[in-house]
Every structure is written in C-alpha cells, then in structure tokens.
Structure 1
C-alpha cells in the first residue's frame, strides 16, 4: 500500500477529526502542513480546485471530505470498526449532523468576540483580515457556517445535555454501545470549543461528556511524519491511480467518460473538473491530469456534492 498522506493544518477541526482517527487505527502517516487560507497551489494541483481541509492522499488517489476519508481509512485498517453493523445507520446519520449543524453552531459560538482573541490572537492584524476575507469568500452568498449566536448556544446546550443523559444511562459512545464514526465527528467540535479560552467553560456543565472526551483523546495521533508538499506531489506523479471496478451508475444522463464538474453544495463551491470514472449513491470519482502530479483519481462523497456535465 502507498503511504497515507494527510494534507492538513494544526488548527483545523476537521483535520483533528482525522488525526484522532489515525491514532485510533494505530496508523503511520505523513503530514503535509497546508495553508489555512488561499492560495494553496500544491494542494490544488492534487485536487483540481477543492480547497477544504483536510485532504487524504494514497498514491495518485485523492480523497476529499472527511465523510469519505473516514470510509477509506476504515477499509485500510478495519479495527476498530467505524461502522459497526448494529449501529451503522445511526452512526452515519449522527456523524453527518455533527459535521454540519453542530459544527455550524460551534463555529458561531467560538468566533464571538470573546473567543476571537484565543483563536486568532497569534495572527497579525493583516493576517486576521486575510483570514476573515478568505472565510467570507468560502461562504459566498450562502448561509453555511452562519447561525445567530443565541440559537447556536442553545443548540450546543441541547446537544450536550442529551449526550450527558445518554452517558449517565451507561451508553458509552455517541451512536450506541460501540465506538463509531459518530464519536470522531462529535470529538472535533469539543476540541474546537476547548481552544476558545474562557468560552470553553460552557463544557463544565457536562462532566460525563468531558470524561468521554478524555477517553477519546487517549487515542492520540498515531505515528505521523511531516513531509514537504513537493514530496506528496512526487508520490502522486510516481504512482498509478487505482483501477476502479464498481462501474458507473447512470445518474441524470451521465456516463463513464463524460466531462463533468463536482461542486460542494454548501460552501467553498469551487468546482473540480475531470472525466467521470465512477458514480454511485455513495461516491463519485473523476480522472484528471495535472502538469505536476500526473494522472489522478479524485474522489468525493455523493452526498453534499453536485455532479454536472461540464459546459
């Protein structure tokens, strides 16, 4: 198997979700530290335009979105299982909600004035301005990652209160008795809030939730080794993309070999263009060619992404 390469940055909540998962799986992996804001020329050479963090690379195959990254890592290292059969559906639904609705509430809560100094205090005024402009551009004209503060705070308290009750009843994990992908999706929200200085006091009302967090935290980050982005591009260039055998499911008149674009439907709506290789209810894969990285397969989850014939 080619090396596992995670394109990430230290303060990214979704990167922390995957780092913890790599620790739970006991995996060795390579870390490429990418910029938190555009430009990201080395990352975009691999993804073709997808700019969200993190991105997983295995040889010449590029996996976008942590919903898909979790599936890929679970296939590479099946223990501990992320989708235990008795609670797989509940785990997937809960993980999707934590990654979307709860994360939106977490961002709103953390980036109120009392939390900004803790989150961005290490940046210069010019860097803060650039970060703010970048995130505004990511949101575009959508309401993604926006929520009124009172509603965000109420959502956090309601969610954490429900989990506190569940843990008190002896259910040790988020989606049932077994560890699952939902635990990792909840974890990065708490990790993010805990970094917000005095605002992290919100969690003090939920001791069982904090005990669950402490147990999850013991997984660590596996065995990372930092490499340069040029090394990652070289790894892609020297590898062959995986030959896919699941075929293409007809969807809206699309067929294998069609020129298409894949675009997130919520925020950071940067389309990725390529030749359609595979399309199912769960995944879409494009083949693209990059002058630096060579032939690449770029994979996305089907949910949350729009697939269209290229103009």
Structure 2
C-alpha cells in the first residue's frame, strides 16, 4: 500500500486522534490540510459528499470515520497494536463511548463563553458566525445537544471516573499497553486542553488524568510531509482501488454486490454517498464511484454508525 494521506485541519479533535495514532505507530504519512467549513470541493471529489473530518486516503481508496481509520492503520502497521489481547473488546467499547458521549460533552463544555473566547477570540466576528452556521447545518437535528450546566456536571463526573480508572498506577487506560481507548478518550480532552484553554482548568483538578494526557501527547504525530489537496485528488485519479473481488460478502440488507446504494451517517453530517456496493464485511462497507476529477475511487465506511439504502 502507498503512504497514507490524512485529510485534516489542525483544530479538529478527531484528526488529533488519528495524528496521535500515527505517532504511536511511528508511521510516515502525508498531510493534506482541508477547510474547516464548507465548501470543500476536493473532499467532495474524493468522497462524493461525506464531509466529516478526517479522511484517510490510500491511493484511490478513501476511508471515512476514525473508527475505521484506526483499523486501516492497524492493518498497515500491526505493531505496536491498538488492540492488546488482554483488553481488545473493552478498548473498542470505551473508544465508542469516547467518540460519541464524551466528545459531545466536551464540545458543549467548550462552547461556554470563556471557551469560545479561547477558540475564536483572535478571529474576526464573521469567521465565528460562518463556523457556527456551518456546524448548525452539519449537526442538523440528530446530534446530541447538552446545555452548559449539564455538560459541566457530566464532564466532571467522567473525569472522576477516568481518574479512578488510573488510580492503581497503570500508565494507560487498560493497563500496561497503549490501546485505541487511550486515543479515543484523549482527543475530546485535548480539544479542551489545547483549544478551549479558557475552560481547561477542570482538567488540572485530576492529576492522574493530566499525567496520562501528557503521556499520550508525548507519543507525537509521527513523520509527515505536506501535499496540496488538489494533488491528492490527482493522485487518486492516477491510482486504482484495491480489488474487492473474491471477498466474502455479508448481506444484511437484501442487497447484492454491485447494486446501487447510498451510505450515510446515522448521527450528524448525514450527507449520503451514492455508489456501487462492492464490499460488505462485519465491520466495514464500501462503494465504488466515479468522479470527473478523482476518477474511480472506493469509499469505505465502518458498519456501526452508518446506514445503507438501495437507490430506487
């Protein structure tokens, strides 16, 4: 496989999760900086409409959602593993909780006045207005919504629980070995600590959590080189997707390989991606599509959190 390309922007917490995993695995990777808000024409060329950040590109294969990206990076570099044998199932469960419940709690907590000042204080007012309008459309009616008082109470409780998880002196959340849970729990707290600095004092009340955050950050981001987004689209056009011929096909929708379908998130950013269904594994689905700029690409999604529908 060619060198992985991460499409991201510096302030994205989910992108920080993947950057930290790349550091943990010591991988060389290519960095493509994409816009924070729409329009994102190069992203659209690659994905067909999916707009969450980040994306991982390997040639003409495009991987969406950090849960799946983590599995792809595990395939690229099995050692060190994100899924240590003694806690492989538990780390996935805690990671899923962190990517949903903890993430939205951290976002609601950060968007109180002092946090917004840290996030947007140096930006012109129109920048914040455009960002908030973009995110309102992005979230729609499905994303969780917490008021600040509830977010403060929930985050304080979660931090106490994480402090207790680390109370026996373990270096990582599930013991002596780093796992995916560490990176999934890390990125919402990183957002508070490094971006919403005006409200980051709550983290300092939990010394074990703070020391653990330091250990995750110390893993770094690996070694990267820069590429323009248009060049990444051209690279996809000059590549071929990895063949899925001969792969076992898990039918959960009464659909056959090759049928025209849409795939969309079930929570927020629910823009559907239309294509030919070419892959259906227990944890992954993928569609083939053709774009006038990106050429033939295969866009991959995790099973959990996405729905597949046949095109009428």
TM tier, smaller? over 0.9
Q: Name the structure 1 match of 2:237.
A: 237
Map 1:191-230; keep pairs closer than 5 Å.
191-194=190-193, 195-230=195-230
Unpaired segments of 5 or more residues in structure 2?
none
Distance (whole Å) between structure 1 residues aligned to residue 122 and residue 284 of structure 2: 38
**Distance across 2 between alignment mates of 1:5 and 1:117:** 32
- For residues 222-263 of structure 1, give each alpha carbon's deviation from its aligned partner in whole angstroms, at most 9, with x where no partner exists: 111111011101111111100124332112211101100001
C-alpha distance in 1 between matches for 2:285 and 2:261: 11
Work out the CA distance in 1 between the residues paired with 2:150 and 2:65: 26
CA shift for structure 1 position 273: 0.2
Task: Write out the 4+ residue segments of structure 1 that deviate beyond 2 Å after TM superposition.
Answer: none
Distance 1:145 1:124, change over 3 A: farther
Partner deviation per Cα, 1:100-138 (whole Å, 9 max, x = no partner)? 000000000001111101112232111111111100001
Question: How many positions carry a matched residue from both structures?
Answer: 310
How many angstroms apart in 2 are the aligned matches of 1:145 and 1:214? 29
- Answer whether contact 2:261 2:310 (CA < 8 A) is retained: yes
Alpha-carbon distance between aligned partners in 2 of 1:153 and 1:174, rounded to the nearest angstrom: 22
Which stretch shifts more, 240-249 or 68-77?
240-249
Q: CA deviation at 1:145?
A: 4.1
Q: Please say if 1:50 is aligned against 2:68.
A: no
Work out the CA distance in 2 between the residues paired with 1:250 and 1:209. 43
Task: Give 1:33 shift.
Answer: 0.5
Deviation of 1:41 after TM superposition, in Å, equals 0.3
Q: How does 1:25-174 map to 2 (within 5 A)?
A: 25-142=25-142, 144-174=143-173
Q: CA–CA distance in 1 between the matches of 2:37 and 2:307?
A: 23
CA distance in 2, matches of 1:158, 1:36: 31
How far 1:176 moved relative to its partner? 3.6
**3-state SS, counterpart of residue 200 of structure 2:** helix
SS in 1 for 2:157: helix
Deviation of 1:281 (Å):
2.5
Shift of residue 139, structure 1, vs aligned partner:
1.2
Deviation of 1:93 (Å):
0.5
Superposition TM-score, scaled by structure 2 size: 0.97
Q: Is the contact between residue 107 and residue 145 of structure 1 (CA under 8 Å) also seen in structure 2?
A: no
Q: Are 1:60 and 1:237, in contact at CA under 8 Å, matched by a contact in 2?
A: yes
Residues 33-85 of structure 1: CA deviation (Å, up to 9, x unaligned): 00000000001100110000000000000000000000000110112100112
1:258-284 deviation per Cα after TM superposition (whole angstroms, max 9, x unaligned):
100001000001000000001132110
Query: Is the CA contact 2:117–2:198 (under 8 Å) kept in the aligned structure 1?
Result: no
C-alpha separation between the residues in 1 aligned to 2:173 and 2:266?
A: 27
Greater CA deviation, 171-180 or 72-81?
A: 171-180
Distance in 1, matches of 2:56 and 2:84, equals: 23
Q: TM-score, length-normalised on structure 1? A: 0.97
> Do residues 291 (structure 1) and 308 (structure 2) align?
no
Residue pairs, 1:269-280, within 5 angstroms: 269-280=270-281
Work out whether 1:177 is the aligned partner of 2:176. Answer: yes
